[in-house]
């Protein structure tokens, strides 16, 4: 891509976003000899790891899994320091990748893509940015991330607050020192659960405003065991193969037993073993936890007992115990000292179910019961997940139809990769693919590879465009929905269901059929000459 300030560009492909997905997509397209340009709103590469710098931000997929597999030299040479990597280390890794593969020269930073409009006559996309770029591209690839569009805090009188407020998903780069402060954290999802213990250790007082408690498993984070690293590196190809064929994009110890068929003491032992091991594998302790309410209840009961054993005040312990949705149907959280933090004298849990927030005040906030004096407020209220970042761009396909209109009743895609009416537009880890239910890097690499192979196929076969057929799309949407409804997931008011954003259609958005099964399906589609797509 030209490195001048030129704004009118003609490219083979525009890639929107310079996170893990955008970088690898660029690498692949370059390898095919295409001209491709990445446009990124942030001042640096890294996507989610660029923005989410809140205290304690850490990946809860293990480091040896959560990394690119496409370059053996890279995966052999890079050394992770911890079992679970912290945000600064992951960001350093992404920057290393950008440099190592000389990607920066095709990345335009601090530039937000505002619209992408399909020109039917030319069969090309016109992509515009907030810095005046006007780009004509044959392909438009959305690498915008599933959790990148933050949910804006819409609390009454927020503008009257005289202290400082922050969103975990847009944390200041210089960091925040809460020493001596009275801090309020609103929300108790993954971001809050990671940051609360650290803020509590720093602040004078911490008030945690909880609407819905979450299930959180200890991380048992530690320096990466050099023996484990050696074993994985000696067998990385096989390790990666197993991850690609697994259900969630990394190998979790499976147990084919039902929670209801084993004796109570065996069940308790299994849960205890998983708890001690820590991490996301807890929800696969038994094969029916995510499918059967009674089985799920046994896991929830174990959890309740754990919380009561850690948190000294029984009322606080009870408030922290989830009761309104099955375990695992909201994203399981992974923590370091989360529950124990509520034993600290300077930490108070406020149950918003009993005393909702009425409004923000100049010096804090007011619930239906009382005023809280706060110097800072941390909004850990999450994201407009999966669709938010895509709909933030004014995307118009055939006949000028907007994506917003097409998705008015919920996202509709074929394989989470493409959409009828939007030729040559691809979504990396789009709704309808395993995405957020998987190790994102495994899913990103699979999608970028599929897209690159598809573009290569089009070019070598003299085709100009590919477009999902409406029937294939409808069938896929139905399938995604059917499989989702075989599980307990739809019972929760989760961001998977779009339930965290007022007015968002209630649809289970990711594909839960499993990473390996899904990959097979995509490969079959390719093998059958892009079954379900029209090539022109």
Q: State in angstroms the smallest separation of the CB of 224 from ligand N01.
A: 17
User: Considering only residues 40, 60, 62, 375, which one is a binding residue for ligand N01 as defined by CB under 6 A?
Assistant: 60
Q: Is 187 in the site for ligand N01 (CB under 6 A)?
A: yes
Does position 147 interact with ligand N01 (CB under 6 A)? The reply is yes
Note whether 249 binds ligand N01 by CB under 6 A. Answer: no
Beta carbons of 283 and 328 less than 8 angstroms apart: yes
Measured from the CB of residue 57, what is the shortest distance to ligand N01 in angstroms? 6
Q: Which residues pair with 127 in a beta bridge?
A: 116, 135
Decide: is 380 part of the binding site for ligand N01 (CB under 6 A).
yes
Judged by CB under 6 A, the residue of 186, 289, 300, 452 near ligand N01 is: 186
Question: Would you say 29 or 374 has its CB closer to ligand N01?
Answer: 374
Output the smallest distance, CB 492 to ligand N01, in A: 9
Cα distances (angstroms) measured from residue 522 to each of 215, 249, 453, 481: 33, 15, 12, 18
501 touches ligand N01 by CB under 6 A = no
Tell me which residue has tokens 């929800």. 283
Give the integer Cα–Cα distance in Å for 87 and 279. Answer: 17
Nearest approach, Cβ of 123 to ligand N01 (angstroms)? 37
User: Taking CB under 6 A as the rule, which mask of x and - marks residues 291-330 in contact with ligand N01?
Assistant: ----------------------------------------
Cα–Cα distances (Å) from 465 to 116, 224, 459, in that order, read 16, 46, 9
Looking at the DSSP bridge assignments, the partners of residue 528 are none
Which of 69, 108, 111, 188 binds ligand N01 (CB under 6 A)? It is 188
Window contacting ligand N01 (CB under 6 A); options: 72-80, 181-189, 284-292, 386-394: 181-189
Q: What span, in angstroms and rounded, lies between the C-alpha atoms of 413 and 430?
A: 8
Task: Identify which of residues 378 and 419 has a Cβ nearer to ligand N01 in the complex.
Answer: 378
CA-to-CA distance for 444 and 425, rounded, in angstroms?
Answer: 16
Contact at 8 Å (CB) between 295 and 288? yes
CA 254 to chain CA centroid, Å, is: 23
* Cα(518)–Cα(430) distance, integer angstroms: 13
Q: What x/- string results for residues 207 through 226 when contact with ligand N01 is judged by CB under 6 A?
A: ----xx--------------
Q: What is d(CA 238, CA 134) in angstroms, rounded to the nearest whole number? A: 44
Distance of closest approach, residue 200 Cβ to ligand N01, in angstroms: 17
Find the binder of ligand N01 among 58, 205, 240, 306 (CB under 6 A).
58
Is 267 in a helix, a strand, or coil? Answer: helix
Nearest approach in angstroms of CB 483 to ligand N01 is 20
Q: Is 367 in the site for ligand N01 (CB under 6 A)?
A: no
Query: Which one, 386 or 525, has the nearer CB to ligand N01?
Result: 386
- Nearest distance, CB of residue 68 and ligand N01, angstroms: 17
Q: Does 80 bind ligand N01 (CB under 6 A)?
A: no
Nearest distance in Å: CB 232, ligand N01: 20
Of 326, 364, 382, 430, the one binding ligand N01 (CB under 6 A) is: 382
Q: Is 69 in the site for ligand N01 (CB under 6 A)?
A: no
Q: Is 59 in the site for ligand N01 (CB under 6 A)?
A: yes
Nearer to ligand N01, 154 or 173 (CB): 154
Q: Tokens for 516?
A: 């390996």
Q: Residue 39 or 215: which CB sits closer to ligand N01?
A: 215
- For CA atoms 189, 193, 195, 200, the dihedral sign is positive
Q: Which of 240, 248, 242, 330 is nearest to 281 (CA)?
A: 248
Q: Which residue from 69, 168, 216, 296 is in contact with ligand N01, where contact means CB under 6 A? A: 168
Q: How far apart are CA 426 and CA 143, in angstroms?
A: 9
Alpha-carbon gap, residue 114 to 131, rounded angstroms: 9
Burial label, 481 (beta-carbon count in 10 A; 0-12, 13-18, 19+): middle
Residue 332 near ligand N01 by CB under 6 A: no
CB of 192 to ligand N01, least distance (A): 6
Report helix angle 440-460 to 236-245, nearest 10.
90
Q: Which residues pair with 376 in a beta bridge?
A: 164, 183
Q: Which of 106, 21, 33, 123 is nearest to 448 (CA)?
A: 21
- Least distance from C-beta 145 to ligand N01, angstroms? 10
Q: Is residue 439 part of the contact set for ligand N01 (CB under 6 A)?
A: no
Which residue's CB is nearer to ligand N01, number 138 or number 500? 500
Is 495 near ligand N01 (CB under 6 A)?
yes
14 or 444: CB nearest ligand N01? 444
Determine the residue with CB nearest ligand N01.
189
Which of the 8 DSSP states describes residue 258? -
Rounded distance, CA 388 to CA 402, Å? 14
Confirm if 385 and 495 have CB atoms less than 8 A apart: yes
Q: Is 381 a binder of ligand N01 (CB under 6 A)?
A: yes
Tokens of 292: 């059967």
Q: Which residues bind ligand N01 (CB under 6 A)?
A: 58-60, 147, 168, 186-192, 194, 211-212, 331, 352, 380-383, 436, 495, 500
């Amino acid at each position: 891509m030209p490195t001048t300030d030129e704004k009118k560009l003609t490219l083979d492909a525009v890639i929107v976003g310079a996170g893990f997905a955008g970088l690898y997509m660029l690498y692949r397209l370059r390898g095919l000899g295409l001209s491709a340009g990445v446009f990124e709103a942030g001042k640096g590469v890294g996507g989610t790891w660029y923005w989410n710098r809140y205290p304690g931000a850490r990946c809860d997929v293990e480091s040896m899994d959560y990394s690119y597999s496409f370059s053996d030299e890279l995966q052999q040479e890079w050394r992770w320091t911890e079992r679970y990597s912290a945000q600064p280390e992951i960001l350093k890794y992404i920057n290393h990748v950008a440099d190592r593969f000389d990607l920066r020269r095709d990345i335009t930073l601090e530039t937000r893509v505002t619209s992408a409009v399909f020109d039917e006559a030319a069969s090309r996309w016109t992509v515009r940015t907030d810095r005046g770029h006007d780009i004509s591209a044959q392909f438009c690839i959305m690498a915008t991330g599933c959790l990148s569009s933050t949910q804006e805090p819409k609390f009454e009188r927020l503008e009257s607050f005289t202290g400082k407020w922050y969103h975990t998903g847009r944390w200041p780069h210089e960091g925040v020192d809460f020493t001596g402060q009275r801090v309020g954290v609103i929300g108790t999802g993954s971001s809050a659960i990671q940051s609360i213990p650290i803020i509590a250790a720093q602040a004078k007082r911490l008030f945690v405003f909880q609407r819905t408690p979450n299930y959180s498993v200890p991380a048992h984070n530690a320096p990466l065991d050099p023996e484990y690293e050696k074993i994985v590196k000696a067998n990385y190809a096989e390790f990666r193969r197993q991850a690609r064929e697994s259900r969630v994009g990394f190998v979790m110890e499976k147990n084919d037993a039902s929670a209801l068929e084993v004796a109570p003491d065996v069940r308790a032992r299994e849960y205890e073993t998983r708890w001690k091991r820590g991490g996301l594998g807890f929800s696969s302790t038994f094969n029916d936890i995510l499918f059967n309410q009674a089985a799920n209840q046994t896991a929830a009961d174990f959890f309740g007992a754990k919380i009561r054993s850690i948190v000294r005040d029984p009322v606080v312990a009870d408030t922290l115990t989830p009761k309104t949705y099955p375990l695992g149907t909201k994203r399981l959280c992974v923590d370091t000292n989360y529950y124990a933090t509520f034993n600290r004298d300077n930490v108070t849990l406020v149950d918003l179910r009993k005393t909702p927030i009425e409004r923000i005040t100049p010096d804090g906030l007011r619930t239906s019961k009382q005023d809280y004096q706060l110097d800072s407020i941390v909004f850990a209220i999450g994201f407009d997940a999966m669709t938010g970042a895509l709909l933030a761009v004014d995307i118009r396909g055939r006949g000028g139809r907007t994506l917003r209109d097409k998705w008015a009743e919920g996202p509709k895609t074929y394989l989470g990769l493409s959409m009828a009416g939007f030729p040559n537009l691809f979504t990396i880890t789009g709704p309808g693919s395993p995405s957020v239910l998987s190790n994102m890097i495994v899913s990103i690499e699979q999608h970028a590879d599929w897209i690159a192979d598809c573009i290569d196929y089009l070019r070598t076969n003299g085709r100009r465009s590919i477009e999902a057929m409406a029937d294939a799309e409808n069938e896929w949407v139905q399938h995604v929905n059917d499989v989702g409804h075989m599980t307990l997931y739809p019972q929760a008011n989760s961001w998977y269901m779009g339930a965290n954003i007022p007015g968002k259609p209630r649809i289970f958005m990711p594909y839960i059929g499993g990473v390996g099964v899904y990959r097979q399906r995509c490969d079959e589609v390719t093998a059958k000459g892009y079954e379900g797509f029209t090539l022109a």
